[in-house]
Amino acid sequence: MTKIKIDGFQLFCMMFIFILGSTLLLDIGKAARQDAWIVPLLATIFGCLLYLVYISLYKKYPNMPLTGYIIKIWGKYVGSAISFCYIIYFVYIASRVLRDFEELLISSSYYVTSIITLGICMTFVLIYSIHLGIEAFARVTCLCFVVILLTLFILNVLYIVGGYIKVENLQPVLANGWGNIGKELVPLGITVPFGELITFTMILPYLNKKSQAATIGLSAIIIGGVVLTINSIILLCVLGPETVLRSSFPALTAVSYINIASFIQRLDTFILILMVILGFVKITIYF
């Protein structure tokens, strides 16, 4: 491995933001209606189990990325083919996430702008980020981490102060049993975002203190899962399960409700900045 190193907090910030990523934007599990918040809560448990599998492989090959030790395990030819498939997977998901954020920008603010133009602009930023290297990128994620937490805190306080939280929208709990929850949980609820953490098998070898990998990763998964659960609860309380289900971008719809004293309103920009940061970090990690 090269001498490039990242510390534990930087890895935590990268994983935390990666977990929120497009999941915060799309609110995975919303088809479970008022029980949608249970999906990220249960998915977090499965995410921890999946990460322990990744860690067990990492401990056996601490200085090699996923594409390296796959060849060691499966042999030169089969391993190379599998490694190539993972590279295609990373590129494909990066493209999907980029498209999601392009759609968000087009539908919210840039109505007459070509989606190709937006994609090119975002891609140039990603190229510049990759050019600077993983150490510079890891430092930027620490700043992004603070901005994200501050933005979420402000928005949630405004929902509460404005009286938009209606707890009755969460009732009745489990009115339709566990069927809809199970359908939302398997496979999509687990795969997005926790199954996607396999991407970090390419980044873990850069960690300067390898003994911290398990603790940091599990902490990021648990805290990220709790944030996603709270976000789902707030969206349900503000919008109601039917509106959440119909909305393409529930977070953007919810923030449009905020109007306090006809002074604090039109806070869509907060969500756009938040989502662009989340998308930038997630796509860059895939690259």
pLDDT of residue 274: 87
| Cβ atoms within 10 Å, residue 69 | 20
Do the Cβ atoms of 13 and 144 come closer than 8 Å?
Answer: yes
Q: CA torsion, points 270, 275, 281, 287, in degrees to nearest 10?
A: -150
Residue that the structure tokens 């090699």 belong to: 64
Domain boundaries, the chain: 8-286
- Consecutive 10-residue averages of pLDDT for the chain (287 residues): 81 95 77 88 94 94 92 93 94 90 82 88 92 93 94 91 90 83 85 90 92 94 94 92 86 86 79 87 93
Residue 127 one-letter amino acid? I
Q: What is the pLDDT of residue 1?
A: 47
Q: What is the pLDDT of residue 187?
A: 81
Query: Please, which residues bridge with residue 259 across strands?
Result: 265
Decide if 271 contacts 6 (C-beta within 8 A). no
Over the stretch 92-149, which tens digit does the pLDDT of each residue have?
A: 999 988 998 888 888 877 888 888 998 899 999 999 999 999 999 999 999 999 999 9
